[in-house]
Amino acid sequence: MALVLNEDQAMIRDSAEGFFKAEAPTTAFRKLRDSKDATGFDRALWKKMAEMGFAGVLVPEGHGGSGFGYVGAGLIQEAIGRNLSLSPMLSTAILAATALLVGGTDEQKAAYLPKIASGDLLMALASDEKSRHTPNHVATTAAASGNGFKLNGTKSFVLDGHVADKLIVAARTSGADGDTDGITLFLVDPKAAGVSIARQPMVDSRNAAKVVLNDVQVDGADVLGEVGNGWAILERALDAGRACLAAEMLGVSAQSFETTVDYLKTRDQFGVKIGSFQALQHRAAHLFCEVELARSVTLRALQALDEGDDRASIFASLAKAKGGEVAKLATNEGVQLHGGIGMTDEFDIGLYMKRARAARETFGDIAFNGDRLAKLMGY
Amino acid sequence: MALVLNEDQAMIRDSAEGFFKAEAPTTAFRKLRDSKDATGFDRALWKKMAEMGFAGVLVPEGHGGSGFGYVGAGLIQEAIGRNLSLSPMLSTAILAATALLVGGTDEQKAAYLPKIASGDLLMALASDEKSRHTPNHVATTAAASGNGFKLNGTKSFVLDGHVADKLIVAARTSGADGDTDGITLFLVDPKAAGVSIARQPMVDSRNAAKVVLNDVQVDGADVLGEVGNGWAILERALDAGRACLAAEMLGVSAQSFETTVDYLKTRDQFGVKIGSFQALQHRAAHLFCEVELARSVTLRALQALDEGDDRASIFASLAKAKGGEVAKLATNEGVQLHGGIGMTDEFDIGLYMKRARAARETFGDIAFNGDRLAKLMGY
Amino acid sequence: MSDALEQFRSETRAWLEANCPAEMRTPQTSEDETCWGGRNFKFTSQAQKDWMDRMGAKGWTVPEWPKAYGGGGLSKEEAKVLSSELRRIKARSPLNSFGIWMLGPALLKFGSEEQKKHYLPQIARGEIRWCQGYSEPGSGSDLASLRTSAEDKGDHYLVNGQKVWTSYADKADWIFCLVRTDPTVAKHHGISFLLFDMASPGVSTAPIKLISGASPFCQTFFDNVKVPKENLVGVPGKGWDIAKYLLTHEREMIGAMDTGDARETMAQVAARKIGLENGTIADAALRTDIIRHEIDAWAFALTMERVKDTAKAGQGVGALSSMLKYYGTELNKQRMELLMSIGGSDGLLWEGDNKGDGDLSRGWLRSRANSIEGGTSEINLNIIAKRVLELPGA
Amino acid sequence: MSDALEQFRSETRAWLEANCPAEMRTPQTSEDETCWGGRNFKFTSQAQKDWMDRMGAKGWTVPEWPKAYGGGGLSKEEAKVLSSELRRIKARSPLNSFGIWMLGPALLKFGSEEQKKHYLPQIARGEIRWCQGYSEPGSGSDLASLRTSAEDKGDHYLVNGQKVWTSYADKADWIFCLVRTDPTVAKHHGISFLLFDMASPGVSTAPIKLISGASPFCQTFFDNVKVPKENLVGVPGKGWDIAKYLLTHEREMIGAMDTGDARETMAQVAARKIGLENGTIADAALRTDIIRHEIDAWAFALTMERVKDTAKAGQGVGALSSMLKYYGTELNKQRMELLMSIGGSDGLLWEGDNKGDGDLSRGWLRSRANSIEGGTSEINLNIIAKRVLELPGA
């Protein structure tokens, strides 16, 4: 597929850019943050996002979604990155929707996908257990119990875990810690007995929660996919997350870069604009190149997911690895070139740096994703 | 020990700087290179170096040496690096002398050290077998035979191997490839039956040879150190080589840096000196810092060898790793900032880049030495 | 060691034994326990106050300052002995102060005899807490472009303007402040160095919130503040010389900070958080990054050591000291980035139930200012290029 | 595909089948087998000459140039078909030439009708081999400061001066050359674009030896060379416009070079030289470096693809194309450094008994020029800063 947006996609991009700039700019982010809002996002905004087709971006039209696909989801995420907009987009519309699409039965799809698309159902993926992303490390157990399973374990860094109406929990039904075989995904009611959820305040003011499962009884019908074969579903959901986070980080990088270039054109020092200093010009020019590289890998990763390309995992890791490094560079350079005011909470550039850092850790940094892509390529 | 040169050492530095600048500048290097000189260095120069006490820098006064120690050896190497002077300093005066000092019997010391100091004996260490430095990879075998051993194997990248009067060969008397136990060092006559030596023309025009050993018979008296326990001697010789190569690379870096800064002050472009461009100023200033860091680690490594510090290996690897990276940066920046003329054979800066690359590979680059120092420190 | 020095050591030891309260020999557990002194300082305990007062009375808060100015009047050697004896009993610092670190050295070099007699003993005894008024919202790296004006009104200056990044301005008693006394000359030549009471009418402050959270920094406003003319240090219009002297001083201090034994710790943290496999940190790529950083950090620590040893040996270190701030702060930022990577999602915590939750993320954010405050990395590279490499002006 | 295009494809296929000699369908094994054409070219075989002549006669050495100027007169679509048919039979390039790559596009845009008619067919048929006279010893990145003079002598120009980095000047028949026709105006405005015969009296060349060994580059000297006035292209004093047009053209070409499938190869080389352990390259640190490079190389390759696709989609690519030269050449240097690290002492060989010995070290050294020739990385960063980011002039 050509590495350009087609007309429909260009329209999605324009409408997403316009929407988030108007409806959820950084001032909205600050308001939620400073009020220590218990939900962590604006439910009215999420409703509007559903009306725009954003919540159902991956949901086929037959299930009430807009079916824009991953390229569409990435464009929405990019606009979210540009505006630091808060919403359950990643957890519900991307991670959970992908898991359901890949692994759900017809009944599960019919039950959940339309509600995701309409903005009425929030979901969260509870997979990570280690602080550094290691998805095959699943120590949470699912032991046979009655006509179902009993879950025990602790999940950390569960995005939107504290507001989710339904959790997707990765637990081990067989095999040893580290094995990919033997992992099973379960749809778990967060209000079920034995589930306790605590929100964790994060540096980027986004929602993450610790989920403790203590003898939580689930039914056989709550299994997503097949028992012991959850890994492929989990991988695909995480790859969707990686590619869409790369897109969000692209928005973060591009916005930080543009803000910084604007600052270089307006800030006076030593009687001239600081953008006239060649050392800063070269750094800005280099950063321009890096942002463009991030844009290319991100688009390829999103397209690969849409096409079912068998290298989709490689491209997702490539985009996540490169996108993360570029976002680090763009936000670090942004703060440094803003000087002292870049360090103040009053200016936005620091908010972008915080988000870049958190997005970089989520679903693996360059160490994880670089290693993964090399292994997938046989070295 | 304070990280400064004492008075004696400052004198050695000054005399070495003066000596090599006068006796073996880059013009001498070019003459030897362009004439494809069979020896690869000037024997008359080596005699003069012996008279200056350089050949016997590590040899105690009792054995006719000057006993300047490793700091002294490093200062000589730094001056060699500054002038790209060709001599068997590293192979004979540093590697072989260290091996003899650490592992030699009284008889061996008495037989060889005075001749090293007087410049009458050239020696070479034949240890590497892989193209990437892996000292514990010793596949060359030494099988018991008569009252001695029979050696079989191939050694590559033997510095000054083609002119050596005596080789120090690492061979395996027991254990498996990769084991450090079971390695034995042998003093081998290059004219012995079964030894064939072929010079390999290298990018830096220095001497390296391939040594093939085919049923070479050696005597029990030719063992250096104990049978099966050659590793500790080899390690110490290589550490001496690493620290002294770091010193030579420091000379290469410092000279490249200074030449480049001079060029920035004299070359006109766009009507001004190119040294007035801030982007180049910042790169030069950063390079200044890096060269100073290389100087610090090098001095510490040399001192640690002199003191018998139990962290001498760590410091040797630290100096080799950092020194190599700095030499890479200094010479690459040197060529780039010289522009087109930096690419011509007529200018010296390219010669420094070639030497930096070869010195960087010798006895391990940052990948090898970084891994080694981390392991030595327990991570 | 000479007999006299040995004698001094035993006397010092005895005096400390008698005068350093037991509580002041326990490790400080938080920033809040730092003693800053001053008119309104809330001591955490009587022991903290006693310790400051006793050391202050002896002049040992500033051991090498002359006795006439409230100092200890100690020789370099004696000061070293005192410092080693303090370390021996693990005594806390009796007094932290911008007066000791910054204003004192400036007054000793540029102040009048009267000023030295008046201000220095107050600093030594912790009676007056000082803050520093340098930066302004518009000035940034171009510090000399400052616009806070001090108009000569005969018997006093009338100060108007605004400072920013004034550490602890809301807690300080007095300020040492760069002001423009002559707007008609070239920017470096119209600056003066002025001292005044923060309680003067017209002075107000507002705290600055950083990306890392609350901070000691303030914005400080001057609205027709009257300052007696004798409060000017040195020569009117020559304040820039004092500023440069203090900036160099500050750069060397900041560059020297934050190294310590962090080296050891990073590998330990990684081993604990990520685990070892066959004796090496299990994440090979992260381990490579850690090793590369450790190599640089160690090379930098050795360079600091070499600078000190070179200075001790009586050799010039000008060229070397200019790089410490630049390289040290860049390294520290890199170190915090790596610690964040090692921490993974734990490093992203902003606050939490456990003590220390959020420290890492806030420390990481705070470290980003290292290469901005006290002279940006860019300014330091300019300085090296110009003063050390003597490259032509752009 | 349209019927007409299908028809064109089958005709082309038949023609190639009949006219491309079998030898010209075997892979080229060395640089020496490249066909450059020209008056004095030594063809490696009759087949090489036949292949050039036949393609030249058909205008297919320059498929999209107009037929009137010796080109093939093909549409974009037809040219693509030709190119795919050539690939299908693995045909070698019939003719390489600075005339095709550089002078041709310049003449098509700036030349007079007469010049086009005269020079372009010679280029298409490989009759005249051209070289490019741009750089001078003193000019470097400041190309417009060139000093080679062309004095107006009524019916001719008298050319004096010196060029450097003239590729294959010692083998070329004619030169296209930047000269100064008016020394009295601002440097960019006194430059003209001149064509002349290298056999003219007063022209001499000397080869340049590089750090990587022998090179195609020469120094070229002009000593009172008479050049007919009709050999000037475009308007006198407006040569800089032509130069800029060609430099941009060249930058895009160089940036686009040397990517290919090198990606695949580096990991393979490392696996072969270093070996795999549990499926990963045994040296973990070097593997990390390789992975980081591969990520960048892949991201760059995708960016090249995106630029092409964007252009195809009829959208502007100005901002993107400006970065290709800078990033591509820096990446290639890094790639060669890594290949040298992977090679270890084998990479240090300068020559040897085996075919290929020394190729790596010489390739590495040669790669260092990538970021210098055709506009240095620094100049390209300046261009991005100025033209793309529109940052103010320094």
pLDDT tens track for C311-349 = 888 887 777 777 999 999 999 999 999 999 999 999 999
Q: What is the pLDDT of residue B298?
A: 98
Ordered domains of chain A (ranges, CATH)? 7-122 (1.10.540.10), 125-228 (2.40.110.10), 232-376 (1.20.140.10)
Joined together, the tokens standing for residue A259 give 């803000």
Strand, coil or helix: A22: helix
Query: What are A312-334's pLDDT values in tens digits?
Result: 999 999 999 999 999 999 999 99
Work out the minimum CA distance from C257 to partner chain B, whole angstroms: 17
Q: Out of B271, B332, B367, whose CB is closest to D285?
A: B367
Q: What is the pLDDT of residue B1?
A: 83
Say if residues A363 and A246 touch (Cβ distance below 8 Å). Answer: no
Contacts with A293 from chain D: Cβ below 8 Å: 296, 299-300, 302-303, 327
Tell if the pTM clears 0.80, that is, is over it.
yes
Q: What is the pLDDT of residue D263?
A: 43
Q: Which chain A residue has its CA at the smallest distance from B285's CA?
A: A279
> How buried is D288 (Cβ within 10 angstroms: 0-12 exposed, 13-18 middle, 19+ buried)?
buried
Q: Out of D276, D312, D389, whose CB is closest to A285?
A: D389
Q: Which residues of C279-301 are buried (b: 16+ CB within 10 A; e: fewer)?
A: ebbebbbbbbbbbbbbbbbbbbb
Q: What is the pLDDT of residue C322?
A: 74
Say if residues A219 and A148 touch (Cβ distance below 8 Å). Answer: yes
Q: Are β-strands C232-233 and C276-277 bridged in parallel, bridged antiparallel, or unpaired?
A: unpaired
Q: Which phi and psi (to 5°) does residue B229 adopt? A: -120, 35
Q: Is pLDDT at C246 greater than 90 in this prediction? A: no
Q: What is the pLDDT of residue C138?
A: 85
Scanning A257-286 for CB atoms below 8 A from C yields 267-271, 277-280
Q: Which are the contacts of A19, defined by CB distance < 8 A and separation ≥ 6?
A: A48, A49, A52, A54, A79
Find which of A276, A278, A287, A333 to mutate to test the B interface (most B CBs within 10 Å of its CB). A278
Q: What is the pLDDT of residue C392?
A: 94
Q: Is pLDDT at B229 greater than 50 in this prediction? A: yes
Neighbours of chain C (3+ CB pairs under 8 A): A, B, D
Find which of D298, D342, D371 to mutate to test the A interface (most A CBs within 10 Å of its CB). D298
Q: Which of D250, D277, D294, D378 is catalytic?
A: D250
Q: Using the Cα atoms of residue C196, residue C198, residue C199 and residue C201 in order, give the sign of their dihedral.
A: positive
Other residues' Cβ atoms within 10 Å of the Cβ of residue C105: 15
Give me the DSSP letters along A135-166: TT----EEEEETTEEEEEEEEEEEETTTT-SE
Q: Are β-strands D149-152 and D130-133 bridged in parallel, bridged antiparallel, or unpaired?
A: unpaired
Of D164, D147, D176, the closest CA to residue D205 belongs to D164
Which residues partner with A212 through β-bridges? A154, A196
Q: Which of C250, C277, C294, C330 is catalytic?
A: C250
Q: Which phi and psi (to 5°) does residue D251 adopt? A: -60, -45
Q: Is pLDDT at C263 greater than 80 in this prediction? A: no
Q: Is pLDDT at C262 greater than 50 in this prediction? A: no
Q: Which phi and psi (to 5°) does residue D160 adopt? A: -135, 135
Point out the residues of chain A with pLDDT beneath 70: none
Find which of D302, D305, D323, D384 to mutate to test the A interface (most A CBs within 10 Å of its CB). D302
pLDDT confidence tier of residue C156, bands split at 50, 70 and 90: very high
Q: Which chain D residue has its CA at the smallest distance from B280's CA?
A: D378
Q: Is B377 on the interface with C (CB under 8 A)?
A: yes
Joined together, the tokens standing for residue D11 give 């005709």
Q: Which phi and psi (to 5°) does residue D6 adopt? A: -65, -40
Say if residues A298 and A250 touch (Cβ distance below 8 Å). Answer: yes
C-alpha dist (Å) from residue C174 to A238, B68, C59, C240, C250: 57, 58, 21, 20, 19
C-alpha dist (Å) from residue A339 to A255, C137, C138, C164, C372: 17, 11, 11, 13, 6
Query: What are C86-122's pLDDT values in tens digits?
Result: 999 999 999 999 999 999 999 999 999 999 999 999 9
Q: Out of D140, D364, D378, whose CB is closest to B279?
A: D378
pLDDT confidence tier of residue D258, bands split at 50, 70 and 90: very low
Query: What are B312-326's pLDDT values in tens digits?
Result: 999 999 999 999 999
Say if residues D107 and D119 touch (Cβ distance below 8 Å). Answer: yes
> How buried is D278 (Cβ within 10 angstroms: 0-12 exposed, 13-18 middle, 19+ buried)?
exposed
Q: Out of D270, D310, D392, whose CB is closest to A276?
A: D392
Q: Is C341 on the interface with A (CB under 8 A)?
A: yes
Please answer yes or no on whether D351 and B354 come within 8 Å at the CB atom: no
Contacts with B159 from chain D: Cβ below 8 Å: none
Q: Which chain D residue has its CA at the smallest distance from A282's CA?
A: D381
Ordered domains of chain D (ranges, CATH)? 3-96 (1.10.540), 130-238 (2.40.110.10), 264-388 (1.20.140.10)
Say if residues D117 and D187 touch (Cβ distance below 8 Å). Answer: no
